[in-house]
Amino acid sequence: MIAAAWIAVTAALYAAARALHRRFPRPWLTPLLVVPGALAAVLLAARVPYPGYMRGGRLLVDLLGPATVAFALPLHRHAGLLRRHAAELCAGILAGCAVAVGSSFLLARALGLGRPLALSLAPRSITTPFAMQVAGDLGGVPALAAVFVILTAVVGLVVGQLLLRWLPLRSAVARGALFGMGAHAAGTAQAMELGRVEGAVAGVVMIVAGLGVLVATPLLRLAL
């Protein structure tokens, strides 16, 4: 009953934030920033503990499973295009993964953050289930990795929209790869708004980057 109420509140706030973002398309008005901010204020003011909220919220998070499955459709539809651009995309993913893991770890250490925190930051560019596993294998904290993945999603939506204005990216493949690599599934959702090709590319990039970092974990354990 209360669980259903939290779903309803979340969905209503999301609908309002989405309408607001459509009316005023500013990067910082993304629903992923506005709605969690509003909900956090409500929960803290009403002294509702997070697990209480999550009894309903869990059901919304679970929809990411079917959403991941659904990527089979754009992969299937754009199989020819993806095969044609396979070389560019592989190069972009390889460069992106190296910069993501390397810069996260090195910047964290340079700023004096502890090793467990730096290792929890390392896989922050890949989608949550992969990132939690990689962080755990590297000696980081999976729960913190999940927080950093979400933080990356929020930052990535804002940064990505700004970079699209500043970088002269003509090809839809490059725009999709930027969002899929930089901000995993949230970036992919954003890329879907740009166009079907962008969305399909972002989905592929997100999944391949996740698999790539997962497979590279033994190497990362030696390097980091």
Partner 1 sequence: MPPAVPHASPPPATARSLLALPLQLLALGGFWGAGALAARALRLPLPGGVVGMLLLLGALRLGLVRAGWLERGADWLFRHMLLFFIPAAVGAIQYPELLGGEGARALAVVAVSTVLVMAVTGATVEWLARRREEAP
N residues, the chain: 224
The correct pick among 82, 119, 123, 130 for binding partner 1 (CB under 8 A) is 130
Looking at the Cβ atoms of 136 and 222, the one nearer to partner 1 is: 136
The DSSP code for 140 is S
| Residue 142 interacts with partner 1 (CB under 8 A): yes or no | no
The correct pick among 119, 138, 145, 177 for binding partner 1 (CB under 8 A) is 177
| Residue 26 interacts with partner 1 (CB under 8 A): yes or no | no
| Residue 2 interacts with partner 1 (CB under 8 A): yes or no | no
| Residue 77 interacts with partner 1 (CB under 8 A): yes or no | yes
| Residue 32 interacts with partner 1 (CB under 8 A): yes or no | yes
The string of DSSP letters for 55-89 reads: HHHHHHHHTHHHHHHHTHHHHHHTHHHHHHTHHHH
- Is 180 in contact with 202 (CB distance < 8 Å)? yes
| CA distances to 21, 31, 59, 63, 150 from 16, in Å | 9, 9, 20, 20, 21
Q: Which x/- pattern, by CB under 8 A, does the window 181-210 give for partner 1?
A: xxx-xx-xx--x------x-----x-x--x
